Amino acid sequence: MRVLLAAIPSATIITPCVAGLGPLTAYCEEAYTIVMQNLMERITISPDICHGKPCIRGLRYPVEVILELLSSGMTAEDILGDYEDLEREDILAALAFAARLSQVKRLDLIGA
């Protein structure tokens, strides 16, 4: 049994939603959507900052840099220690952004 965590919109407590035994309940899906929307609000895109690359809260930390740090083996705590103006939610937002980009219906190869 897997347990997904879903935040209650107007509260600070977290409630578990059980997955794997069928589809998520409407409540869990709504809570997940709210959490993802809140995280995605941390990603900004401006032509004046980092040449228009997606960044964390306009702080000139491109999402790709956070993802590269994580893929190199750094933990979220390591990154937060090195970049004091970042917050845990910023790292989660970078991961959420990458997850959204990977949700494509199909890839077409160009050339051969």
56 and 85 belong to one structural domain:
yes
The model carries a pTM of 0.68
Mean pLDDT along residues 37-50: 91
- Number of neighbouring beta carbons within 10 Å of residue 15: 13
Task: Give me the CATH number covering residue 66.
Answer: 1.10.10.10
**Measured in whole angstroms, how far is the alpha carbon of residue 81 from the centre of its chain?**
19
Q: What is the structure's pLDDT at 108?
A: 76
69 and 84 belong to one structural domain:
yes
- The residues near 40 (Cβ < 8 Å, ≥ 6 apart) are 93, 96, 97, 100
Tell me, yes or no, whether 86 lies in a domain: yes
